C-alpha cells in the first residue's frame, strides 16, 4: 500500500532494526478456500527460516487454525491480512480481518487450545472501529524453530 | 476487494425482484399449494447465482456440471432456510450457504491428485532421510540438515516438503490396510480428561473424537493432549512424520467443520 517501509514511522529516519526487518505480507479474501494460500506462504517462510520439520508442520497447522477462526468472524467481502516478522523471541505471525462482531475469539475453545499447543504464545485482540458495530480482530502467534531440543 | 466478488455481489438490483417473492413465501403455510409455485419460481430466478459460484470452483479437477448441480442443491437449501424476518439480505445468506455445499462436495470426493513420479521419489527420500536424522538428532531435522544428508539443494528439499504436504492423496507411506491396524494406543494413553476439561466445548468435542478412526484419534490426542511432537508420534505409531502431519491437519480440518456446524 502507501506504506512501503515496514517500520513506517512517518518521515522519521528508520532505525537500524527497521532497516533490517524483513516483513512478509499477504492479503487475500477472507474465505475458507483461500486459506491454503496462507499455508503455502507459511511453509515458505518457516522452511526458509530453517525450522525443524515438526515446527514447520506445527506452524502451518497453527496458521491454518488462526485463519479459520478469523474467516468465521470476517464480514463477507473483507480481507484477511497476514504478516510474518522475525522477532528476537521467534517468528511473529499476525493475522487480522474486519468483523461486525467486534470481539476477539474465545480462548476456551478447542481451536484455541490447538493454537496454544502449536505456538510459543498466542494473543488475540479486537480494535473497535469508530462508530462501533465493527472492528479489526487480530490473532498473533509467536512460533519457534523447534531446533533447540 | 476481489473482482469476482464484485460480479457476484455488486449488482444488488440483479436479484431485487426476488424480494417480494421471499416475502410472499414467508406468509404461506406449509400446505399452501401456492408455496411450491413461489419456491420454484425463486429457485429458477436464482439459478445464475449457483452457476456463478460453481464457476469459481472450476478448474480444480471436478467436472463443471457436477459443481453446478451441487451449487444448485446449496441454493435450494438457502432458499428453504432463508428467513427475511431476520433482517439479512438473501445474497449474504445464500453465498456462504452455497459455497459451503460446494466445499463439502470437494471434501467428500477426496480431491485426489496424481503426483509425478519424481516428486514421489523425492518425497520418499525426504521421509526416510528425516527418520534417520530424527534418530540421530533426537528431534526433527531442518531442511538444511536434510539437504546435507541427502546431498540435495536446500530449495529442492523445501519444495519437496511442500509438495509432500500438498498432495493429501499421496499414497507412498499409506499402509495397504489403512484401518486394519487395530491400534491400541488410544487405550494405553488413558483418557486425557484433565487437559480436556479446560476446553469449553469439549462436550461437543468428545462425541466427534469418538467418531474418528482409532489411529487419527490417538494421534490427535497425543499431539494436543499428550504433549508429544510429531516425530515422537511418528515413532510410536510407526509411520513417517510427514504422514502424521498430514493426518493431523486433515483431522483438525474435519473437526473444525463439525464443531462450527458446517460439516
Provide DSSP, B200-250. Answer: TTHHHHHHHHHHS-HHHHHHHHHHHTS---HHHHHHHHTS-HHHHHHHHHH
Residue B193 has pLDDT above 70, yes or no: no
Nearest to B172 by CA among B86, B239, B100, B91: B239
Q: How far apart (Å, rounded) are the C-alpha atoms in residues B161 and B170?
A: 12
Given this model, what pLDDT does residue A54 score? 94
* A136, A110 contact by CB (below 8 A): no
Q: How far apart (Å, rounded) are the C-alpha atoms in residues B252 and B212?
A: 11
Looking at chain A from residue 48 to 87, which residues have their Cβ under 8 Å from any Cβ of chain B?
Answer: 48, 50-58, 60-61, 64-65, 68, 72, 76-79
What does DSSP assign to residue B232?
H
For residue B263, what is its C-alpha cell?
A: 460439516
**Looking at the partner chain, which of B9, B103, B146 has a beta carbon nearest the beta carbon of A77?**
B9
Count Cα atoms within 13 angstroms, Cβ side, for B113: 15
**Residue B32 distance to chain A (closest CA, Å):** 35
Residues of B in contact with A65 (CB under 8 A): 252, 256
Residue A117 contacts B, CB cutoff 8 Å: yes
Q: A139: which strand partners?
A: A95, A124
* B94, B78 contact by CB (below 8 A): yes
* B245, B130 contact by CB (below 8 A): no
Q: A90: which strand partners?
A: A87
Average pLDDT over residues B160-167: 70
Averaged confidence pLDDT in chain B: 77
Q: Which of A132-136, B84-88, B139-143, B175-179 has the highest mean pLDDT?
A: B139-143
Residue B102 has pLDDT above 80, yes or no: yes
pTM of the model: 0.67
In this structure, of A122-126, A137-141, B14-18, B79-83, the range with the lowest mean pLDDT score is: B14-18
Average pLDDT over residues B194-205: 61
Q: Which of A143-147, B8-12, B60-64, B149-153 has the highest mean pLDDT?
A: B149-153
Closest chain B CA to residue A41 = B162
Place B64 in a pLDDT band, splitting at 50, 70 and 90.
Answer: confident
**8 Å CB contact of B259 and A117:** no
Which residues have C-beta within 8 Å of that of residue B128, sequence separation ≥ 6? Answer: none
**Residue B20 distance to chain A (closest CA, Å):** 24
Backbone angles phi, psi at B57, to 5 degrees: -100, 5
**8 Å CB contact of A47 and B103:** no
* Higher pLDDT pick, A28 / B83: A28
* B54, B48 contact by CB (below 8 A): no
- Please identify which residue in the block is written with the cell numbers 515438526: A54
Closest chain A CA to residue B8 = A77
Measured N-to-C along each axis, helices B117-137 and B241-259 cross at an angle, to the nearest 10 degrees, of 100
Average pLDDT over residues B153-181: 59
Place B185 in a pLDDT band, splitting at 50, 70 and 90.
Answer: very low
Look at chain B and count its residues.
263
**Looking at the partner chain, which of B162, B223, B242 has a beta carbon nearest the beta carbon of A40?**
B162
Average pLDDT over residues B219-223: 91
Given this model, what pLDDT does residue B10 score? 46
ipTM for the complex shown: 0.83
- pLDDT over 70, % of chain B: 73
Average pLDDT over residues B42-63: 85
- pLDDT over 90, % of chain B: 24
| Max Cα–Cα distance, chain B, nearest Å | 74
Given this model, what pLDDT does residue B1 score? 42
Q: How far apart (Å, rounded) are the C-alpha atoms in residues A45 and A116?
A: 20
Residue A88 has pLDDT above 70, yes or no: yes
**8 Å CB contact of B249 and A32:** no
* B165, B245 contact by CB (below 8 A): yes
Given this model, what pLDDT does residue B206 score? 80
**8 Å CB contact of A146 and B139:** yes
**Residue B255 distance to chain A (closest CA, Å):** 9
Place B199 in a pLDDT band, splitting at 50, 70 and 90.
Answer: low
Distances (CA, A) of B162 to A61, B56, B136, B198: 13, 25, 24, 34
Residue A53 has pLDDT above 90, yes or no: yes
Amino acid at each position: 500500500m502507501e506504506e512501503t517501509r515496514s517500520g513506517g514511522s512517518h518521515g522519521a529516519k528508520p532505525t537500524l532494526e527497521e532497516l533490517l526487518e524483513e516483513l512478509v505480507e499477504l492479503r487475500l479474501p477472507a474465505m475458507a478456500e483461500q486459506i491454503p494460500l496462507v499455508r503455502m506462504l507459511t511453509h515458505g517462510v518457516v522452511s526458509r527460516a530453517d525450522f525443524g520439520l515438526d515446527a514447520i508442520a506445527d506452524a502451518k497447522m497453527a496458521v491454518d487454525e488462526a485463519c479459520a477462526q478469523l474467516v468465521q468472524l470476517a464480514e463477507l467481502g473483507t480481507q484477511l491480512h497476514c504478516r510474518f516478522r522475525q522477532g528476537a523471541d521467534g517468528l511473529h505471525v499476525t493475522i487480522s480481518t474486519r468483523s461486525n462482531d467486534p470481539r476477539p475469539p474465545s480462548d476456551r475453545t478447542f481451536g484455541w487450545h490447538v493454537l496454544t499447543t502449536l505456538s510459543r504464545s498466542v494473543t488475540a485482540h479486537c480494535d473497535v472501529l469508530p462508530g462501533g458495530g465493527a472492528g479489526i480482530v487480530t490473532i498473533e502467534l509467536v512460533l519457534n524453530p523447534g531446533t533447540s531440543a | 476487494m476481489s473482482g469476482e466478488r464484485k460480479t457476484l455481489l455488486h449488482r444488488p438490483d440483479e436479484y431485487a425482484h426476488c424480494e417480494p417473492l421471499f416475502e410472499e413465501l414467508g406468509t404461506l403455510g406449509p400446505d399452501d399449494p401456492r408455496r411450491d409455485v413461489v419456491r420454484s419460481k425463486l429457485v429458477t430466478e436464482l439459478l445464475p447465482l449457483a452457476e456463478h459460484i460453481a464457476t469459481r470452483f472450476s478448474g480444480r479437477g471436478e467436472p463443471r456440471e457436477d459443481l453446478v448441480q451441487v451449487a444448485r442443491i446449496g441454493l435450494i437449501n438457502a432458499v428453504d432456510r432463508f428467513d427475511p424476518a431476520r433482517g439479512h439480505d438473501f445474497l449474504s445468506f445464500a453465498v456462504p450457504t452455497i459455497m459451503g455445499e460446494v466445499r463439502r462436495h470437494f471434501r467428500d470426493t477426496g480431491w485426489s491428485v496424481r503426483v509425478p513420479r519424481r516428486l514421489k521419489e523425492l518425497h520418499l527420500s525426504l521421509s526416510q532421510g528425516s527418520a534417520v536424522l530424527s534418530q540421530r538428532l533426537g528431534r526433527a531435522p531442518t531442511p538444511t540438515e536434510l539437504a546435507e544428508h541427502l546431498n540435495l539443494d536446500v530449495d529442492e528439499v523445501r519444495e519437496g516438503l511442500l509438495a509432500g504436504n500438498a498432495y493429501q492423496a499421496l499414497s507412498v507411506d499409506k499402509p495397504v490396510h489403512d484401518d486394519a491396524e487395530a491400534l491400541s494406543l488410544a487405550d494405553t494413553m488413558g483418557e486425557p480428561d484433565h487437559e480436556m476439561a479446560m476446553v469449553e466445548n469439549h462436550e461437543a468435542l468428545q462425541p466427534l473424537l469418538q467418531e474418528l478412526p482409532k489411529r487419527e484419534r490417538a494421534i490427535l490426542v497425543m499431539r494436543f493432549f499428550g504433549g508429544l511432537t510429531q516425530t515422537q508420534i511418528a515413532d510410536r505409531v510407526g509411520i513417517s512424520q510427514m504422514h502424521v502431519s498430514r493426518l493431523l491437519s486433515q483431522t483438525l480440518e474435519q473437526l473444525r467443520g463439525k464443531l462450527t456446524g458446517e460439516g
